[in-house]
Amino acid sequence: MWRFLLPAGVFALLVAVFLVGLGKDPTLVPSPLVGRAAPEFSLPRLDDPSQTFSHRDLLGKTSLVNVWGTWCSGCRQEHDTLLALARDSGIPIYGINWKDDQQLAREWLATLGNPYVAVGVDQDGRTAIDWGVYGAPETFLIGPDGTVLYKHIAPISLAVWREQFLPRIAAAGSGQ
């Protein structure tokens, strides 16, 4: 009896492990930042380098921090969604322009539209390391107390917004 049940059981276990495991995307690495305070930073602003964009700007309201660059095709892909969110969601979107040509970045926003309340320039990638960024685009949801509520790796879409962001914003208790 056991000599049939045991291999069958082991096989079933392997099938279950592979069903779960192979369905996952190995390029999505969960961020240890979720549930912790957003990293401290202070970056010169893209529109006016004499001013800064820092973690203190994120306090007091739920906000998004979007890491982007003009070299990043996924950022172009999600740009219209960001514009729509900036217009309709009531949630301020901040940008971190990651290792980019600032002139190109300014042209990008002038041509395609600017969804950002403020954009900080991370020229050497130091701030991106503190945020655990390993690709663009990445979008962080920040609570009013400055806590990282969620990190989305990949272009954001309205479906992603509805399924991943809205429930967390509602749970944080301050949708607006």
Partner 1 sequence: MMPQAVRVLVLAGLLLGARPGFSIDTDAKLADPVQQATYERLTSEVRCLVCQNQTIGDSSAPLAADLRREIRQMIEAGRSEEEIKVFLLDRYGDFVLYKPRFKATTAALWLAPLLLLVAGGLGLGRIIRRRAALPVPPDDEPGDDQPSADGTFDDRPIDDRPVGHRDEPPTAAKG
Question: What residue ranges bind partner 1 (CB under 8 A)?
Answer: 26-27, 29-33, 39, 99, 124-126, 128-132, 134-135
| Nearest approach, Cβ of residue 136 and partner 1 (Å) | 10
162: left (phi over 0), alpha (psi -120 to 50) or beta: alpha
| Nearest approach, Cβ of residue 166 and partner 1 (Å) | 25
Nearer to partner 1, 130 or 145 (CB): 130
| Nearest approach, Cβ of residue 123 and partner 1 (Å) | 11
**CB-count burial class (<10 Å; 0-12, 13-18, 19+) for 17:** exposed
Nearer to partner 1, 32 or 60 (CB): 32
2: left (phi over 0), alpha (psi -120 to 50) or beta: alpha
| Nearest approach, Cβ of residue 176 and partner 1 (Å) | 31
CA-CA distance, 4 to 17, in Å (whole number)? 20
Nearer to partner 1, 48 or 124 (CB): 124
Nearer to partner 1, 78 or 100 (CB): 100
Nearer to partner 1, 86 or 149 (CB): 149
Contact 43, 155 (CB under 8 A): no
| Nearest approach, Cβ of residue 134 and partner 1 (Å) | 4
CA-CA distance, 127 to 62, in Å (whole number)? 20
CA-CA distance, 37 to 149, in Å (whole number)? 9
